[in-house]
Structures are given as C-alpha cells and as structure tokens.
Amino acid sequence: MSPIIDVVAPRLLAPAVMLAAALIVKGYTDVGEGFSAGVIVALAIALRYVALGRTRADRTFALARRAHLVAAGGLLVALAFGFAGVAFGRPPFTHLPLPGESVMRIGRLEITTAVGFDVGLFLLVSGGLTVLVRHLTGLMPADETEPEGDG
Amino acid sequence: MRPGPSAHSVDRLGPLPTVATAIAAAAFVAIVASLVAGGGAISLPWAPTLGLRIEFALDGLALLYGLLATGIGLLVFAYGAAYLPRHLAHEGRPRAEERRFWPWMTLFLVAMVGLAMARDLILMFVFFDLTAVASYFLIGFDRHRPEARGAAFMALLVTGVSAVALLLGTVLLQAEYGTFSLPELFTRARPGPVTTTAAALIAVAALAKSAQVPLHFWLPRAMAAPTPVSAYLHSAAMVAAGVLVIGRVHPLLALNPVVLDALLLVGFVSIAVGGVLALAQDELKQILAHSTISQYGYVVVLYGIGGPDGAVAAALYVIAHAIAKSALFMTAGAVSEATGESRLSRLGGLGRELPVLAVASGIVAASLAALPLTLGFFKDELFFAAASGKGPLVASFAVVAAALTFAYLARFWLGVFSGPRHAEASRVPWLLVAPIAVLAILSIAGGILVAPFERLAESAAAVTHGSAIDVAPGYHLDLRIENVMAVAAWGLGAVLLVGARWREPAVSAISRAGDRIGPRRVYSVLLSALNRMSDAAHRAEVRDLRTSLAAILVPTGILVALGFAATPTEGAYVAGPITSADLPIVALLAVAILAALTAARDRGRLRPVLALSVLGFSLAGVYAVMGAPDVALVAVVIETVVSLVFVAVYSRLPGTTVGRPARAAAASHRFRNAAAGIIAGVSAFAVIWAALSRPSLGGSDAAEQIRRTPDAHGGDVVTVILADFRGLDTMVEITVLAVAIMGVASLLRRFDRA
C-alpha cells in the first residue's frame, strides 16, 4: 500500500462526514440528498478498510463494527418520520410543518419531517454499505498479510 | 438413552394449552353474552380510498359458526391438552414442541370466528386464507414424517390456490357494483354474466375448502394431523369455512339457478364418493375423513336446493354434524391411545372395557346417522323435507345418501366396540373421554328438546335466505314423506351393512379406480410436471454467468418489444437537430461508445472493468451537462462504488488464463450471445430513443410537482420528490435495500473468518 494512501485513508473520514452533512443540510434546497451522502461516507470508510486492513480498521474505528445497528436505526428513523403523522390522524408521509406554515431553522438547516426522513435514509445507506465493506474486506487476501496487531 | 416419559409428566397440564383453552372459553362466553345483549356490529374504515371497511357483525350465521368454533374449540382444546403430551411422548419428541401447536390452534379459532363475523368480502378472504395457513402448520405438525409434510402442502395448495378464485370473484363484484360490503352487494346485485361468474368463482373456493368432489382429495390426506386438529378441522374450522362462505353469499349464488343446480350436482357426487370410499377404508380416521366429504355434500345439496327449507336444513345440518364429527374423531383418537391400534380390522369388542366411550360415541354416531331421540334425527327430517320438495329424483338420491351414512357409521361403531376382541385396551384419561360425553349429552338433549338448536338454525338461515324463516321439526308418528324416506334409508343402510360379501369387492374396486384415475392422481402428475419445469428453468438459468444475465435481459427485451408492437409510435422517434450547445454531450457520448466497445471486445480482465467505469462516468457527465445535477451526483458515487467492488471481487478470482475447453465452449455459444445481446440492446435503444423524443412536461405529474415544491419548503425538486411527494415509494425502496443488504451480509458472513 502506498504511503500516501496509508496517511490519507484514516484522515479522510472527517471531511467525508462533513461533505455528507453539507449534502443533507443544503440538500432540500439544492443538489444532493441522504442517499448520496450515505454512499460518500461509506466510500471513506471503505477506503479506510482497504488501506488499513480489517483488523486495524476495526480497532481504530469501533463504530464500524456496530454498522448493522446504524443501518437498522436508520430504517427505524425513516419509518418513524414517515408514519409518525398516522398517530395524529394524518395520512402517512404528511409533510410537517404544513405548506404555508413557517419552518424552524438552525442556520441553513430547515427542520421538516422530510429532512428527518432523509437523515434516516443516510444512516441506512451508510450503515448498510459499511456492513458489506467490512465483510468484503474480511475476504480480502491482503488482510491475511496484515500484521494481526501488536499488542 | 432417552428416559421414557413418566405418567406424571404427560398428565401435568402445561401453561400453553391452559391459556388456549381459556381463550376458547372466553370467546365462547363473549359470544353467548353478546347474544343475550342482542348482537353487535363493528364498522371501522380500513382503506377508505379502496372502499374497504373492517366490518364485523354478530348476526344469526355468525352466531352459529361462532358458537361452533368456540364451543367445539373449547372441548377439542381440553381434549388436546391431554392428548398432545401423549402424542409427543409416543413420537419421542420433547414437551416443548407444544409451542408449535397451540398458537396455531388459537389462530385457527380466531380466524374462524373472524370469518363468521366478517361482512366485507376482502375481510372474508383474509380470514379464509388465515384458516388455510393455520391448517398448514397443524397438519404438518409431525414434520419429521414425509406424509404429514405432503398432506400439509397439499391442503395449503388445494385450498389456497382455489381461494384465489374467491379473491377474483370479489374483485369482479367490486368492479361491477363498486363495493366490497356484502349487505350493500345484496341490495345492488342483479342477475347477469358478471354476477354469475363471480358467484361461481366464490363457490369454487368454498367447495374446495369444504372438500367437495373433485377437490376433495386433500382432506383424507390431512388426517396425518394429530387427532385434536382433525377433530377441529373437520367439524368447526377449516372445512366448515367453505359452507360458511356459501351460506354467507347465498343471495348472490341464488341469482342464477344454474349455480344452485351445480351446487346440487357437486353435493350429490360428493355424498356418493365420500360415502362409498368411507365404506372402503380400514383406518378409523380415514373412514371419518371420507365421511366428512359426504356430510358436507349434504350441506352443499341443501344450499343447492335453496329456499327457506334448504337454508334452515343446511344450518341445522352443520350444527348436528359438527357436534357428532368432532366427537367421533376424538373417539378415534382415544381408541388409538388406549390400544395402540388405528385400524378397524385390528379392533373390536372394546365396549366392555371402555363403556363410557362406547355409549358416548354410540350416541353421536346415532345422531349423525339420524336415529330418533338424537339431534341428528331432525337434520335428516329437514333434509328429506327439502329434498322431497325438489322432485322424486332428488328425493331418491337423498334416501341413498342417508343409507350410505347409516351404513358406514354403523360399520365404524360396531367394528370398534362390538364383536370379538382383537386388541387390549389400557385406561384412558378422563380428559380424553369427557369432551365426547359432553357432545353426546348435547346430541341427546337436542333430540328431546330441539327448540334451542332450531332457533339457532332459523336465525342463521334467515341471513342465508334473506328473510325470517319458521320451521317446526318434531316427532310425528304417521306416514308422512319424511318418515317414509327415513325408514327406507335405514332399511337400505342395514342391507348395505349386512351384505359385506358383495359390498366389499365393489367399494374396494371403486376405491382403486379412484386412486388410479382420480383427481389426486391428476394433482400429483401436475405437481411433478411443474416441479420438473421449474428445475429445468433453474438449471438453464444458473448454468453460467451469461445465461443468468440472458435470463433477465432477454425476457425484458421481448416484453418491451411486445409493448412497442401494441403502442402507437407516431412522433415517438424524432431525431432532433444538433446545435453547437450540444457539442459537450456529443463528445461525452463518443467517449461512452468507445468505452462500451472496449468493454465488449477486450479480452483482458481489468481493462473491461475500467472501460465500464469510464462509460459510467461519461454518462454521469452527460447528466450534469443536460441539467440533471442530482442524477449526476448519484451516478458518480454509484459508479465509484461499483468500480471499487469490481476490482475487489476480481482480486479474489484465480489467476489462471482461460484454457482451450473454455474457449471452445465460448465459440459454440457465440451465436447465442449475439442473439441475446441484440434482443436486449435493440429494445433498450428503442425505449431510450422513444423516451428522449418527448421530454415535454405538459400535463404530467412533473409540472405539478415543480409547482408545489415551494409548498414543501424545498428548493430542489428531485430531493423533494424523493423525500416527500414520493416518500412512501422511497420508504418501500429503502426497506427492500435493507433486506437485500441483510441477505448479502448473511451470505458474506459465511466466508468471513472473523
């Protein structure tokens, strides 16, 4: 593995998450949504696994081992935002706040049910792809030559 | 060595049967209580846009079947609480397997009560299929035995596939009259071809469920189930569901007399086939199973006769039969439990050792054979009255039917309890006898005081017939036609019983002929042909990667071609002008074409993959230039992932070069590959060209969605469509995605060493 990738790979996750956050935050008014954001974060994680090998990547990034929980949580979040309105007698996927009502904002982020749904989608995609990446790198012959940890 | 089950462990009642029996008892009490309170109805919106409502009502028919399902359910559950531990001990299985029994029994009961009370056809279909699902798991309870699995599958297939006819009929009626609700349908429906077709389809589903010829063959096989299941399934649950549906939709069936005549015919054929085959059987439960085919044939005949007489006779018949048949099945189970034998030829003379069982089962058998002083006498009185009103032909069939019933029931009871003794009987626990005794007492009580049963049957028949009915069954010591027919039936039945010498060759010949050319043979031939076809298609598809791809692309191409043949193509294939603004697109597309050619022609490994990736990125560039930045973004990230996965997977492939045999095989498949490629490629080309020829927004959803995007507090139409306008679609898609990821992950985990 080239030294450049060795150095870059572990440090790429933070910018990737920033990019993903930007895509979600501005996504509702501009290009991009949760799906692309999720794939981008998963790509950064994949690079880390390919560069460091399964064992080291697992050790330095504990959350990846719980990626299946992130994916399941994302599905639940999406379901919750989609069907929460049903409990209040509205049809599923009612857009809240309703058209014409004012929207709460945090900076440029507009808090609506659709954005919440998008966050769930992001968690599902990034978590699910990370699960696959972890298993695939477990199959990689490269990982077998990696030092199995030094402690 | 597994320690033998001690008497103590099988006698101890587990929590599950106690809970299930308590549920049955509570449901029974609830139905009786609401009867006292004067019935009740629930009507809630379910899917308002489809006009679906959750509509339940406790009318006469619901009351009858509800009381049967819960009352007989209560007794059968109590019996099962004692029976199942012994059954599991015989089979050498742990007590914990009761877990796989009682929930399904309870579902069986709930589904039956739901079906009885449902007033909406879709709701009826749901409960109808729920009984089939529950019966599948119950019939296949002894899953280590292949015949139990086969029987469960057969029951599910025959009743489940024909239940689709019920759904078809329902949809036809909805399309014609605009409602799923039965009370509304009854007021709106008029005679006509659509109504007749729908009624016939519903009748087919119901007849298959009630095991009527020619879809009767699943029922005798279903006796592979443990005895409590058979007792319940034959009397008050699964099989009764069929005649319940007929009784419920009877006003629709009665719109066309041809449908009723068909019922009459099917019913009589079922009586004859079931009755004759019941005489041919040796195994106790087989005799009873064939008897059930015959007995529900009576009910179908009565619904075919129709009118007030037929409706009330059918209702009373269902009550009397349910009481008797559940008790007879429980008798068969108790006898097998006591002796270890289940064949008539190895049993006999048990009357002295099991007196209570003998008397109780004698009473219920007499009731089913319609002897006086039992409830069953009145069912046949009404049956004869209804049949004689339909002319001498139907009346004489009715006498023969009753004679067959008398003969096989007498053969059953006398064969088990009288004559020389063939097998020793051990003590039978009281819980295996008490439910039978209760049912016997009910039969006798009904024979002395028929009024409560008569009122129940009348109120059920009022629903079936559509208006109030009053009949007066009773004992009359005179030469009225019903009495003459009854005496003639007993006489003929006694002749059949006594004349064993010529009866046995005849019935066994019929039975053998049925095995050779009967519908069960057709079923198994069809099933194995279907299986072979599926295997052949599967083998062809998975032979190599190219056939797997062709299996997707070629049918798609053919379907698209058919779609084009049926669609007007005027104005669809426009080649617009190319302006200077289009130059970037042309350049990107040229790169894409070169990459595609490389991917197809290059014999290397990594180069085609990289060429595919170039192709994907240049298409993403086209999207970006054409003003679809959202699509371009997704295309870029997806293309990146796909390229990486390709490279990762290729790094796992063995490093050998393609050998001579593989090359020869590839050459021989060249024509096939080219044909598949042309079909798929040309159809894809045609679709894309047609789509790009009319990119107009006028009148489409898209214009409306663009207009309303500000309402959704959004600026980006694509994102708003995905997350909001089409949010439900996206939800379903990501659920599919999650399931797919789970599937792939579970496959990968098998090879993952960590």
Residues B282-306: pLDDT tens digits?
899 999 999 999 999 999 999 999 8
Confidence at residue B4, expressed as pLDDT on a 0 to 100 scale: 43
Q: What rounded mean pLDDT belongs to chain B?
A: 86
Considering the domain boundaries, does residue B309 fall inside one? yes
A61 min Cα distance to partner chain B (Å): 16
Confidence at residue B569, expressed as pLDDT on a 0 to 100 scale: 65
Say how many domains are in chain B: 3
Q: What are phi and psi of A111, to 5 degrees?
A: -90, 105
Same domain, B207 and B267: no
CA distances from B364 to A96, B170, B374, B400, B585 (A): 65, 38, 8, 21, 86
Of all residues in chain B, the percent with pLDDT exceeding 70 is 94
Is any Cβ of chain B less than 8 angstroms from the Cβ of A125?
Answer: yes
Say how many domains are in chain A: 1
Same domain, B248 and B270: no
Considering the domain boundaries, does residue B492 fall inside one? yes
**Residue B44 host element (H or E):** strand B41-47
Tell me the residues of chain B between 155 and 184 that have a Cβ less than 8 Å away from chain A. Answer: none
Domain span holding position B41: 1-255
A31 min Cα distance to partner chain B (Å): 5
Same domain, B172 and B297: no
Considering the domain boundaries, does residue B576 fall inside one? no
B715–A114 C-beta distance less than 8 A? no
Query: Of the residues B255, B272, B291, which one is the last residue of a structural domain?
Result: B255
Residues 6+ apart with CB under 8 A from B676: B546, B549, B550, B553, B554
Structure tokens at B738: 């999650």
Q: Which of B290-299, B379-388, B459-468 has the lowest mean pLDDT?
A: B459-468
B734–A71 C-beta distance less than 8 A? no
Same domain, B220 and B268: no
Query: Of the residues B498, B529, B551, which one is the last residue of a structural domain?
Result: B498
Global model pTM greater than 0.80:
no
**Cα–Cα nearest to B591, from B614, B624, B612:** B614
Q: Which of B130-134, B234-238, B262-266, B648-652 has the lowest mean pLDDT?
A: B648-652
Q: Are B299 and B240 in contact (CB under 8 A)?
A: no
Q: Residue B737: its chain A contacts at CB < 8 A?
A: 124-125, 128
Considering the domain boundaries, does residue A87 fall inside one? yes
Is any Cβ of chain A less than 8 angstroms from the Cβ of B651?
Answer: yes
Kindly state the average pLDDT of the residues B651-655. Answer: 69
* Residue the block writes with tokens 């809970």: B19
Q: Which of A83-87, B357-361, B554-558, B662-666 has the lowest mean pLDDT?
A: B662-666
Reduce the DSSP state of residue B42 to 3 states and report it.
Answer: strand
Task: Give the count of beta carbons closer than 10 Å to the beta carbon of residue B569.
Answer: 11
Q: Residue A121: its chain B contacts at CB < 8 A?
A: 723, 730, 734
Residues 6+ apart with CB under 8 A from B461: B60, B308, B311, B312, B314, B315, B469
Confidence at residue A73, expressed as pLDDT on a 0 to 100 scale: 92
Residuewise pLDDT in 10s, chain A (151 residues) = 577 777 777 788 888 888 888 888 776 667 777 888 898 899 888 888 888 888 888 888 888 888 889 999 999 998 888 887 777 777 777 777 776 677 777 766 777 788 888 889 899 999 999 998 888 887 765 544 444 433 3
Distance of CA B177 to the CA centre of its chain: 26
Compare B669 and B64 and report the one with higher pLDDT: B64
Is any Cβ of chain A less than 8 angstroms from the Cβ of B537?
Answer: no
Q: What is the pLDDT of residues B464-502, one digit of tens each?
A: 888 888 888 888 878 788 888 989 999 999 988 888 788
Kindly state the average pLDDT of the residues B371-379. Answer: 90
Give the Cα separation of B247 and B191 in Å (integer).
18
Considering the domain boundaries, does residue B464 fall inside one? yes
Q: Which of B83-97, B100-114, B455-469, B641-655 has the lowest mean pLDDT?
A: B641-655
Considering the domain boundaries, does residue A73 fall inside one? yes
Domain span holding position A46: 3-145
pLDDT over threshold 80, residue B664: no
pLDDT over threshold 80, residue B190: yes
Is any Cβ of chain A less than 8 angstroms from the Cβ of B640?
Answer: yes
Same domain, B414 and B429: yes
Q: Which one of B716, B749, B753 has the shortest CB-CB distance to A27?
A: B716
Compare B563 and B62 and report the one with higher pLDDT: B62
Considering the domain boundaries, does residue B329 fall inside one? yes
Is any Cβ of chain B less than 8 angstroms from the Cβ of A53?
Answer: no
Q: With b meaning 16 or more CB within 10 Å and e meaning fewer, what string describes B596-612?
A: eebbeeeeeeeebbbbb
Q: Which one of A32, A68, A103 has the shortest CB-CB distance to B713?
A: A103
Same domain, B458 and B400: yes
Same domain, B173 and B246: yes
Same domain, B209 and B339: no
Q: What is the pLDDT of residues B608-633, one digit of tens each?
A: 888 999 999 999 998 888 878 888 88
pLDDT class of B753 with cuts at 50, 70, 90: low
Confidence at residue B58, expressed as pLDDT on a 0 to 100 scale: 87
Sequence letter at residue B584: P
Considering the domain boundaries, does residue A151 fall inside one? no
**B630, B731, B748: best to mutate for the A interface, most A CBs within 10 A:** B731
Same domain, B122 and B199: yes
Query: Of the residues B483, B498, B513, which one is the last residue of a structural domain?
Result: B498
Q: Which one of A31, A128, A131 has the shortest CB-CB distance to B629?
A: A31
Is any Cβ of chain B less than 8 angstroms from the Cβ of A36?
Answer: yes
Considering the domain boundaries, does residue B620 fall inside one? no
Is any Cβ of chain A less than 8 angstroms from the Cβ of B723?
Answer: yes
Taking chain A, what is the end-to-end CA distance rounded to the nearest angstrom? Answer: 22
Mean pLDDT highest for which of B33-42, B443-452, B540-549? B443-452
Structure tokens at B9: 């462990």
**A25, A33, A40: best to mutate for the B interface, most B CBs within 10 A:** A33
**Residue B519 host element (H or E):** helix B519-542
Considering the domain boundaries, does residue A101 fall inside one? yes
Considering the domain boundaries, does residue B547 fall inside one? no
Give the Cα separation of B183 and B706 in Å (integer).
45
Same domain, B30 and B78: yes
Is any Cβ of chain A less than 8 angstroms from the Cβ of B712?
Answer: yes
Confidence at residue B658, expressed as pLDDT on a 0 to 100 scale: 55
Confidence at residue B152, expressed as pLDDT on a 0 to 100 scale: 93
Compare A135 and B710 and report the one with higher pLDDT: A135
DSSP string covering A130-151: HHHHHHHHHH-HHHHHS-----
Same domain, B261 and B245: no
Q: Are B463 and B59 in contact (CB under 8 A)?
A: yes
Give the Cα separation of B82 and B64 in Å (integer).
27
Sequence letter at residue B418: S
Same domain, B165 and B98: yes
**Residue A31 host element (H or E):** none
Q: With b meaning 16 or more CB within 10 Å and e meaning fewer, what string describes B143-175?
A: eeeeebbbbbbbbbebbbebbebbbbbbbbbbe
Confidence at residue B367, expressed as pLDDT on a 0 to 100 scale: 93
